[in-house]
Amino acid sequence: MSTAFDAGNGKITVPDILRRKTNVPSSSTQNSDPGRESGRRKIVCLTAYDYPTARLVDEAGVDIVLVGDSLGMVVLGYENTLPLTMDEMLHHTRAVRRGVRKALLVADMPYGSFHGDRNEAVRNAIRFVKEAGAEAVKVEGGERRMELIAQLVEAEIPVMGHVGLTPQSMHAFGGFRVQGKTVEAADQLLRDARAVEAAGAFSVVLESIPRELATRITSELRIPTIGIGAGPECDGQVLVLHDMIGLSLGHTPKFSRRYANVGEAISHAVTAYAEDVREGRFPSDAESYHLSSEVRERLLAVRRS
Ligand code: KIV
């Protein structure tokens, strides 16, 4: 469960992500930083939930790998994210840790892991770092999470905030709806984003909010905003891997662009395999192991005698 922190080896750290804030005037960044201009590139974040997807996503060069609690829906088949447990999240975060070398690894705190006793919430976050190798945790919620975020930062755990459509609030919201569409709701979201920043988060996910509001939040905050259904002006973007590769079996939201159809590829492969087995076309002789001629002779001799 090792993470390489040597400077210059390409490992992405929390300070690297903070330097990717796009609207900071260049005079306010350190002149000694030779990668300053390239440091303004948009942040690319994707979810991963197991070793092979983690390796593929990391090797493709994303900046942040998020073990999102979307795990519950896209991999474990729950109807929503609420039933997901700490043990399930830790199990999958460990697998992802084994596949990620360069990207920053962030683990999502599941519903119930930070909603009760504050000390237990901190202990749960520490488990992600100690037992699963996460480098940061993500916490859903705005103003209400200020104290918790500050306490986690105090415990040396970098925090990614998450405001807007926070799926763990689905019952309070009455479903999955775009947030911040009225003046009051937009004001509240602005306050939420400011609160997350003031509490010490190093970035904040803006989910399913109007583009104009995300633009306003992005221009006001000094920490990077990472959008999902929040328009192109955010400092970075995140998508659920299974949605963008066509491996989600449920509804996918309109902001989730599909870059591949892996689900269809799997179906075709399995259908072809089943046909080959049933028709005796699999395995072929080339796909079979063979005895040496000497052993074959002796085997046949034994059978004859
Ligand atoms: O759980 C998740 O995958 C997330 C992202 C969509 C931000 O929270």
- 237 or 31: which leads in pLDDT: 237
Q: Across residues 179-187, what is the average pLDDT?
A: 97
Identify whether the C-beta of residue 256 lies closer than 8 Å to the C-beta of residue 241. Answer: no
Distance between CA 140 and CA 108 in Å, rounded?
Answer: 8
Task: Using the mean position of ligand 1's atoms as its centre, give its distance from the Cα of residue 66 in Å.
Answer: 7
Q: Across residues 174-199, what is the average pLDDT?
A: 96
Q: Across residues 166-178, what is the average pLDDT?
A: 92
Task: Using the mean position of ligand 1's atoms as its centre, give its distance from the Cα of residue 68 in Å.
Answer: 5
**Does residue 294 surpass a pLDDT of 70?**
yes
Catalytic residue among 135, 140, 197, 207: 207
Task: Using the mean position of ligand 1's atoms as its centre, give its distance from the Cα of residue 240 in Å.
Answer: 6
pLDDT on residue 35: 40
Task: Using the mean position of ligand 1's atoms as its centre, give its distance from the Cα of residue 305 in Å.
Answer: 68
Range name among 102-111, 134-143, 259-268, 295-304 with the lowest pLDDT average:
295-304
**The two three-digit tokens of residue 256, written as one number:** 């989730």
Q: Is 207 a catalytic residue?
A: yes
Q: What is the band of 40 on the pLDDT scale with cuts at 50, 70, 90?
A: confident
pLDDT on residue 300: 86
**Does residue 27 surpass a pLDDT of 90?**
no
Q: Across residues 40-68, what is the average pLDDT?
A: 97
Q: What is the DSSP string of 231-254?
A: -TTSSEEEE-HHHHTT---S---T
Among 87, 10, 68, residue whose Cα is nearest residue 244: 68
Give the tens place of pLDDT for each residue, 132-162: 999 999 999 999 999 999 999 999 999 999 9
Other Cβ atoms within 10 Å of 57 Cβ, number: 23
Ligand 1 atom closest to residue 81's alpha carbon, by position in its atom list: 1
Q: Across residues 220-227, what is the average pLDDT?
A: 98
pLDDT on residue 8: 63
The neighbouring-strand residues paired with 225 are 204
pLDDT on residue 237: 98
Q: What are phi and psi of 129, to 5 degrees?
A: -75, -50
**Does residue 295 surpass a pLDDT of 90?**
yes
Distance between CA 73 and CA 250 in Å, rounded?
Answer: 9
**Does residue 33 surpass a pLDDT of 60?**
no
Distance between CA 65 and CA 108 in Å, rounded?
Answer: 11
pLDDT on residue 39: 47
- 175 or 208: which leads in pLDDT: 208
Task: Using the mean position of ligand 1's atoms as its centre, give its distance from the Cα of residue 70 in Å.
Answer: 6
Q: Whose CA is nearest to atom 5 of ligand 1?
A: 68
Q: Across residues 259-265, what is the average pLDDT?
A: 98
**Does residue 6 surpass a pLDDT of 70?**
no
**The two three-digit tokens of residue 262, written as one number:** 């892996």
The angle, 0 to 180 degrees and rounded to 10, between the axes of the packed helices 86-99 and 118-132 is 30
Q: Across the chain, what does the average pLDDT equal?
A: 92
Ligand 1 atom closest to residue 238's alpha carbon, by position in its atom list: 7
Q: Whose CA is nearest to atom 4 of ligand 1?
A: 68
Ligand 1: residues within 6 Å at CB?
47, 66, 68-70, 108, 205, 228, 238, 240
Ligand 1 atom closest to residue 70's alpha carbon, by position in its atom list: 1
Q: Whose CA is nearest to atom 8 of ligand 1?
A: 68
- Give pTM, 2 decimals: 0.91
By most ligand atoms within 8 Å of CB, the mutation choice from 44, 45, 47, 166 for ligand 1 is 47
Among 12, 44, 104, 8, residue whose Cα is nearest residue 241: 44
